Structure 1
Amino acid sequence: MRPLQNPFYKKLYSPSFADLFLGQRKVKQTLFSQINTIIDWTPIRAIIEVAYTKGYKSTGRPSYDSLVLFKIKLLRT
């Protein structure tokens, strides 16, 4: 029997800091998915790809996607 199915578990359970943090994270995930359904990122990606030049090297980590960098910039402003 899983702890959440146990009838006595509710009395003994108190949420931890991680539980509260993950609960807030789900709200953010929902917000981000709603933004992705509202905004069509295809034309924005085309504009960004013209200005953003990726470096292609045989060594090192691959570069970040230009649209991801743009979304990070939007979140910071």
Structure 2
Amino acid sequence: MNGTPGVQKDKKKAFDLLLTTSKEGNNDARYYLAICYMEGMGTRKDEKKAFNWYFESAYNGCHALAQSRLGYCY
């Protein structure tokens, strides 16, 4: 089911919304955007970008889950 075009389109749309919301300063969106980059959901897998978004979420918003994932990245 993950390979169906509709599901992939939905993942891309969700990714785009997370990216926009993250740039507007939403800390939870930053965390979930990092997961998208780490897992390649809605975008190409990019561990460097994932790290950067985890960092933004962890340090600018004190997001506990982002802090944990950032520690894992280190």
Q: TM-score, normalised by structure 2?
A: 0.36
Instruction: Kindly indicate whether structure 1 or structure 2 has the higher relative contact order, using CA contacts under 8 Å at least 6 residues apart.
Output: 2
Q: Which has the larger radius of gyration?
A: 1
Which one has the bigger helix percentage?
A: 2
